[in-house]
């Protein structure tokens, strides 16, 4: 891949920071008996010290070498979060392999694309909610070597992980990586088609993780909790990256069913989540303590403090000093609600191509809710003439694997990264995201509509869990909305509230952008039904396709319809 500007920036930065391979060996030598990873199994912690993690990782290097795999070979990794994921990722670095993480919820087509496009020669598979997709791909490619982590939900593979590594002594090899060497190919979540393979360097990864550590001021005794997909760059840098670079302990949940109990068992000091899960946590609280009653209790000085502590304890977040949110747009109203119960959530923004590290609202500022924060240390931001957000720093990707044209298109001649997002920067440097450049659609009237600012405005004033404004080729925009799943749901009351919201919004919009109708969606969008990416972003193009004809048939006398 020929991207001289990026290579020069990385080289000329004179980065001397160590790499993840250096750090795991350092902790294993200096703190061999300290617990690094805590895997919850059968409601108990199964602990792995730094020495044990390094030992297992080096044994895996030897085992892979014995199978004939050489430095530079691509090796895939597909599992929900677990200790073995971290161990394997470190082993692939120590063996100078190029890791190819695959989302554990990916469908067969996506899995096959990631494996064949990257030319992966082996795959390690672990905890899965459903192994049917990967099993169908394995049946199609029987020569692909497979290794199963020792969990009941892993499919049958050529080898079991523990047996595979225990037959070999720890490798004596020690890698000598350059800052620009490719560490991993991370496939983007594919909101608009097949995912592209972003090539991530050792130097960019280490630099981004270290900037986060320094900026947040991670301390001895911090506790991280790893549960968001490790195939996604946010978890890989913010949790895995910072843990290995700073020597911070990490725990993993046992299952989705025990998730809240797992968080309460561990009580992390740093906790990041996504809007969908913060919304579910809110619903869980309001089911037990309705908003009207909560409002009254929060107005009583002594009781208010007690309630806030109990709510935080109920989520397992009473020890968390930093709470984060990212990966998808979040309603400012949701962040304001958490602020009222004493939980300040830092919103952050980034992308795979920038190692998920670009902006963050840290230290938390209440007056900047609605923005995604300002540039992190070492990051430069600017807004281009067409309002596209441009990013520059040492933590940028090297390019897309086997896609020179797309790689070159991502950078300008000065090394600025085209993010594809449009936005604005205020006088204090805080960034507001206003949408994606390619999300704009043209109605049947020939007028362009940018849906994201409209959705964002609705988010501010409405209780809608997920929404998507569609309208390409339609007479006028239609809002697809997934209503909140409140207890004792009153459809008629909810419909009246939604009607007031749309009437309010329409008064603010130009005539061609006014919302013609709202379709309340029957089945919530999910990863399983294909309308959400594994990182819970909405696949707008698929919703546009499914509901393409709805606008033409919309009844003139109805603003709101419920999907049958």
Q: How far is 251 from 271, CA to CA, in rounded Å?
A: 11
Structural domains for the chain: 440-562 (3.30.300.30)
Q: How far is 457 from 442, CA to CA, in rounded Å?
A: 20
Backbone angles phi, psi at 140, to 5 degrees: -75, -25
Q: What is the pLDDT of residues 454-465, one digit of tens each?
A: 888 888 777 677
Token representation of residue 229: 């997909």
Cα–Cα–Cα angle for 542, 229, 18, rounded to 5 degrees: 130
Q: How far is 370 from 423, CA to CA, in rounded Å?
A: 12
Q: How far is 364 from 509, CA to CA, in rounded Å?
A: 32
List, in order, residues 6 or more apart from 113 with CB less than 8 Å away.
187, 194, 195
The model's pTM is 0.85
- The answer to whether the CB of 196 falls within 8 A of the CB of 115 is no
List, in order, residues 6 or more apart from 130 with CB less than 8 Å away.
none
Report the candidate in 217, 175, 222, 183 with the shortest Cα–Cα distance to residue 202.
183
Token representation of residue 130: 């459903």
Q: How far is 74 from 142, CA to CA, in rounded Å?
A: 17
Per-residue confidence (pLDDT) for residue 1, from 0 to 100? 39
Three-state SS for 251-282 is EECCCCCCHHHHHHHHCCCEEEECHHHHHHHH
Q: How far is 70 from 64, CA to CA, in rounded Å?
A: 8
The per-residue DSSP string of 444-497 comes to: TTS-EE-HHHHHHHHHHH--EEEEEEE-TTSSS-EEEEEE---TT--HHHHHHH
List, in order, residues 6 or more apart from 451 with CB less than 8 Å away.
435, 439, 440, 441, 468, 469, 470, 471, 477, 540
Q: For the chain, which residues score pLDDT lower than 50?
A: 1-7, 10-14
Three-state SS for 355-416 is CCCCEECCCCCHHHECECCEECCCCEEEECCCCEEEEECCCCCCEECCCHHHHHHCECCCCC
Strand order in the sheet with 359-360: 44-49, 35-41, 249-252, 223-225, 270-273, 322-325, 345-349, 359-360, 374-375
* Peptide bond between residue 363 and the one before it cis (omega within 30 degrees of 0): yes
| Start-to-end C-alpha separation, the chain | 50
Per-residue confidence (pLDDT) for residue 457, from 0 to 100? 84
- The answer to whether the CB of 553 falls within 8 A of the CB of 209 is no
**Tell me, what DSSP letter sits at residue 155?**
P
Token representation of residue 273: 């989540």
Per-residue confidence (pLDDT) for residue 486, from 0 to 100? 65
Per-residue confidence (pLDDT) for residue 190, from 0 to 100? 57
Three-state SS for 24-75 is HHHHHHHCCCCEEEEEEECCEEEEEEHHHHHHHHHHHHHHHHHCCCCCCCEE
135 conformational bin, left if phi > 0, alpha if psi -120 to 50, beta if neither = alpha
Q: How far is 520 from 515, CA to CA, in rounded Å?
A: 14
Q: Which secondary-structure segment (H or E) carries 168?
A: none
Q: How far is 238 from 224, CA to CA, in rounded Å?
A: 9
């Amino acid at each position: 891949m020929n991207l001289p500007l990026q290579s020069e920036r990385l080289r000329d930065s004179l980065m001397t920071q160590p790499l993840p391979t250096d750090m795991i060996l350092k902790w294993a030598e200096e703190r061999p008996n300290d617990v690094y990873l805590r895997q919850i199994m059968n409601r108990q912690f199964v602990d792995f010290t730094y020495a044990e993690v390094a030992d297992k990782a080096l044994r895996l290097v030897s085992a892979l070498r014995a199978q004939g795999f050489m430095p530079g070979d691509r090796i895939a990794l597909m599992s929900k979060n677990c200790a073995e994921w971290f161990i394997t990722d470190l082993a692939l670095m120590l063996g100078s392999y190029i890791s190819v993480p695959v989302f554990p919820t990916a469908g067969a087509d996506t899995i096959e694309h990631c494996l064949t496009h990257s030319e992966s020669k082996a795959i390690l598979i672990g905890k899965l909610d459903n192994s049917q997709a990967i099993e169908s791909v394995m049946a199609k490619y029987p020569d692909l070597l497979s290794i199963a982590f020792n969990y009941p939900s892993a499919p049958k593979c050529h080898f079991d992980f523990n047996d595979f590594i225990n037959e070999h002594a720890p490798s004596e090899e020690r890698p000598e990586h350059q800052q620009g060497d490719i560490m991993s190919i991370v496939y983007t979540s594919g909101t608009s088609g097949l995912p592209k393979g972003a090539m991530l360097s050792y130097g960019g990864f280490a630099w981004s993780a270290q900037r986060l550590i320094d900026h947040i001021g991670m301390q001895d005794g911090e506790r991280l909790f790893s549960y968001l997909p490790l195939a996604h760059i946010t978890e890989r840098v913010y949790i895995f990256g910072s843990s290995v670079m700073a020597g911070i302990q990490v725990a993993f949940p046992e299952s989705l069913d025990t998730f809240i109990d797992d968080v309460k068992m561990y009580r992390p000091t740093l906790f990041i989540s996504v809007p969908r899960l913060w919304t579910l946590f809110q619903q869980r609280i309001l089911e037990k303590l309705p908003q009207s009653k909560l409002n009254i209790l929060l107005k009583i000085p002594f009781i208010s403090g007690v309630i806030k502590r109990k709510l935080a304890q109920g989520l397992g977040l009473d020890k968390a000093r930093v709470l984060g949110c990212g990966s998808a747009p979040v309603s400012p109203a949701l962040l304001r609600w958490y602020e009222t119960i004493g939980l300040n959530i830092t919103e952050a923004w980034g992308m795979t191509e920038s190692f998920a590290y670009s902006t963050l609202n840290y230290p938390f500022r209440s007056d900047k809710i609605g923005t995604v924060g300002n540039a992190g240390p070492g990051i430069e931001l600017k807004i281009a003439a067409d309002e596209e957000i441009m990013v520059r720093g040492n933590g940028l990707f090297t390019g897309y694997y086997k896609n020179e044209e797309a790689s070159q298109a991502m950078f300008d001649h000065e090394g600025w990264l085209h993010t594809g997002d449009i936005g604005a920067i205020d006088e204090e440097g805080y960034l507001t995201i206003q949408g994606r450049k390619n999300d704009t659609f043209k109605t049947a009237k020939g007028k362009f509509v940018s849906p994201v600012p409209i959705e964002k405005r609705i988010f501010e004033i409405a209780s809608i869990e997920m929404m998507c404004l569609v309208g390409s080729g339609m007479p006028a925009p239609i809002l697809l909305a997934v209503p909140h799943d409140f207890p004792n749901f009153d459809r008629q009351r909810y419909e009246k509230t939604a009607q007031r919201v749309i009437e309010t919004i329409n008064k603010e919009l130009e005539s061609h952008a006014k919302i013609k109708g709202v379709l309340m969606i029957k089945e919530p969008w999910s990863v399983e039904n294909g309308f959400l990416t594994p990182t819970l972003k909405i696949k707008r193009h698929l919703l546009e396709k499914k509901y393409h004809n709805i606008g033409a048939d919309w009844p003139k006398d109805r603003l709101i319809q419920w999907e049958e």
